Chain A
Amino acid sequence: MSLKKVALAGAVAGLMGSTAFAADCGPSGKSVRILGSDFPAIQAVAGAAEANCAANAGEFTINLRDNTRDMMNQALTPNPAEYTSVIVANSTLTQLMNDDLVRPLDEYVAKYGQHLKPSQLITIGGKVMAVAFMANSQHLYSRTDILEQAGVEGIPATVEEIVAAAEKIRAAGIMEHPIVMNMKVGWNVGEIFNLFFFANGGELFKPGSAEPNVNSPEGIAALGTIKSLLEYSHPDHLSHASNETQGLWEAGKAAMAVMWGSRGGAVLDDEGSSDEVTSNTVLSAAPTAGGGSTPAATLWWDGVTVAKNIPDEDAEATFAALVSGLTSDLMEEHNDKAIWLIDGFQAGPAAAGVSATAAAGAKPYPMIPFINLMHNALGSELVDFYKGDESAEDALADVEAAYRTAAKEAGFLQ
């Protein structure tokens, strides 16, 4: 532990009573092997675990990379598994639980997790399956200087206001395509549909079953909402994911964007953009649509799990190491890297959008075993509609047919 950390820990000890556990790394000489996505908040969490507990462990490795979801099931299937912990989000926890690859954490939480808030515990069927440490969601980014220049008052709160503002910006000749959003074919197209489907009051599945429910008035309304935004978005939108939209934003080529909250820190920092852009960028709640009150967003959390197919003592050491990092000194050091769920978090400007979206009642991304199949069907079958080759009804009927085919193969439908 560095001197700074010791000092911080001492300062916080009186308030939190948690630091006694921060140094408790569980059984010594065990193997801790962490897999996670590569972004700043996870680097911070894994780094803190390593700093606290690497000396106590026999082996301590961290592998942070892109597209972990493509290989995490394969990595955890053998016994012993390739990693002792995977850092997951809502959808990837479902993916691991579908194949029974993670273990319940209740006994470890009782032993090492007194400093965790109850809301950080992801409990499924009464068992703790993951410990969340940060939240994320999509929300609105606006350029106040451009809105002002076009004569728009305040920050738009609904899709209709965004479209009206975009029309004013276009009419004033400031920008031809003022809106950007992540519309890359595949996962992103599916996710954008989810946002506006939920905002229009839709449910993806018929209650209590795996039967699809997207070819509905809410589905058609959602597609109409999205199309109205695409009128004003960059012509290449079907190839834009987070890196492209963030790039356009930082280059000052957009006035309103629906982007991830986790990009907020990177957009507002002093790298990759001009002062004109960063000082006028405001993060606010995701818009509502069609007169509803639910924001067009899905709420996500990121959290730690422990693999099932590993020795019990490795599992205990892994859990102890990871939660030892989830303390307020981690947060103080990395405040702007995430919307932390850790006790005592103060939301800065980079977290304002996610906080406002969650407060306005956005829905969490569903943790249903067949959600990935629906998400993929949406991501591939809606493209014809966005390209203008197909009607909304036909596209949604195609989604349902494609989902049924996959769900039958996966054993969810007969």
Chain B
Amino acid sequence: MKHRTFFWFILPTLSAMVLFIALPIVSVFIQSLFVQHEQVLVVSESCGPFGCVEETQVDTEATAKLREERPLGQFNGLATYFDRSHLASAEIAEVWRTSTGLPSFIDGIMDLKFYKALVFTLTYTFVVTPLVLIFGLAVAVGVNNLPKAFRGVAIFISLLPFLVATIVGSMILSWMVDGEGIIGATLQNIFNDPSLSIKASTPLMWIMLMVYGVWHTLPFAFITFYAGLQTVPQDTLEAARVDGANKWQTMISVVVPHLMPLVSFVTLMLLMDNFRVFEPLVSFQAEAHAQSLSTFIVSDLREAGNPLYASAGATSMLTILGVVILLTPVLIRTWRDFNAKVH
């Protein structure tokens, strides 16, 4: 394709990407560099049904004037990125100085919410992603080996977890494992321990979330691999069989290499999605045991009432950075494969 033709061909997509992806990211980044103006406070008497008290209020006129002069707020540089809610450089230095050994150092780091969330998010990503890949392939091969008459039904059933909206699926499971729910109450009965509770234990909660994550995203990997299996060249399979390869050997040496590009694609998608895990944490009411960077962004923007845009912006940028770091190895691999094919 001529460069000129290619340019006109790609222009609509490119402009949409700049407009809806690049510009918002730049705007979020700029916002993350500024914090609010110093608030002008006045003390005044406030009265209501429960009597009168002296209380501080924001002097809105004075604050509005400051805002008009510099609408973005006070320039804060990258300081928000290094404050206690994010990378916490000063706190880590302090922990390093006062810690008495590795365990106490780790304890100190785990007290900082950003790192606590990062540990959960990474564990979740690196447990769920490989499990989904392996089970997805297994289910795809299983369905592919079924007699034709059953395949339609099997595909439909295997896709169900994906069709159920995340928030609904996790809510239902959350009610079931609740201390008053069918699974939770049964467990209490079996172990004869009324204090046994999945929601009260961090390890059990993590396992619960990961099991849910695998259950929910499995169909995505399954359907992609199933489509790929339809394209495995029959000649090669036959050749393998003639050479005396058993089913397992054929699988490892013929099918899996043929599906490798799909594996890269599914891995990319899973890494991105899992790193931003959010809905299950909300519906399982798991905030006590597991937080992710996404839940921080929501709480900065919504629960603060008057949103903390800088903090939310910084967390968003760090999330993007995290996704980029996670994807780099897969992208490098894809790039190499691509080059190898071209040359």
List residues of chain A with CB under 8 Å of any chain B CB: 67, 69-70, 73, 90-92, 95, 97-100, 119-126, 132, 135, 176-177, 184-187, 208, 210, 234-239, 247-248, 251, 253, 299, 301, 341, 358, 364, 366-369, 372-373, 376, 379-380, 383-384, 386-387, 390, 394, 398, 401-402, 404-406, 408-412, 414
**Contact call B48/A368, Cβ cutoff below 8 A:** no
**Contact call A380/B48, Cβ cutoff below 8 A:** no
Residues of B within 8 A of A100 (CB): 58, 60-61, 63-64
**Contact call A402/B36, Cβ cutoff below 8 A:** no
From A119, A253, A409, contact of B35 by CB (8 A): A409
In the assembled complex, the Cα of A43 lies from the Cα of B64 at a distance in Å of 35
Residues of B within 8 A of A187 (CB): 303
Stretch at the interface among B77-85, B210-218, B233-241: B77-85
Residue of B37, B50, B83, B304 most packed against chain A (CB within 10 A): B50
Interface membership of B302, Cβ < 8 A: yes
From A70, A177, A185, contact of B194 by CB (8 A): A177
**Contact call B84/A364, Cβ cutoff below 8 A:** no
Min CB–CB distance B194 → chain A (angstroms):
4
Interface membership of B311, Cβ < 8 A: yes
**Interface size in chain B (residues, C-beta < 8 A):** 60
Interface membership of B288, Cβ < 8 A: yes
Min CB–CB distance B172 → chain A (angstroms):
15
**Contact call B48/A123, Cβ cutoff below 8 A:** yes
18 CB-based A-B contacts, threshold 8 Å = A91-B305, A95-B305, A119-B49, A122-B48, A124-B44, A125-B46, A125-B57, A176-B194, A234-B179, A236-B180, A236-B199, A248-B180, A368-B55, A368-B56, A376-B304, A402-B84, A402-B113, A409-B80
Residue of B with least CB distance to A187: B303
**Contact call B287/A409, Cβ cutoff below 8 A:** no
Residue of A with least CB distance to B48: A122
**Contact call B55/A97, Cβ cutoff below 8 A:** no
Count how many pairs of residues, one from A and one from B, have CB atoms less than 8 Å apart in the complex: 181
**Contact call B197/A208, Cβ cutoff below 8 A:** no
In the assembled complex, the Cα of A404 lies from the Cα of B35 at a distance in Å of 14
Given contacts A358-B50, A376-B303, A406-B311, 4 further A-B contacts (CB under 8 A): A176-B194, A237-B200, A368-B55, A411-B36
Interface membership of B69, Cβ < 8 A: no
**Contact call B195/A176, Cβ cutoff below 8 A:** yes
In the assembled complex, the Cα of A253 lies from the Cα of B308 at a distance in Å of 40
Residues of B within 8 A of A367 (CB): 46, 55, 57
Residue of A67, A123, A299, A410 most packed against chain B (CB within 10 A): A410
**Contact call A410/B288, Cβ cutoff below 8 A:** no
**Contact call A414/B38, Cβ cutoff below 8 A:** yes
**Contact call A369/B304, Cβ cutoff below 8 A:** no
User: What are the 7 closest A-B residue pairs judged by CB atoms, nearest first?
Assistant: A125-B44, A100-B60, A239-B285, A411-B36, A235-B197, A185-B287, A95-B305
In the assembled complex, the Cα of A251 lies from the Cα of B43 at a distance in Å of 47
Min CB–CB distance A113 → chain B (angstroms):
15
**Contact call B305/A383, Cβ cutoff below 8 A:** no
Residues of A within 8 A of B202 (CB): 387
Interface membership of B45, Cβ < 8 A: yes
**Contact call B113/A380, Cβ cutoff below 8 A:** yes
Interface membership of B41, Cβ < 8 A: yes
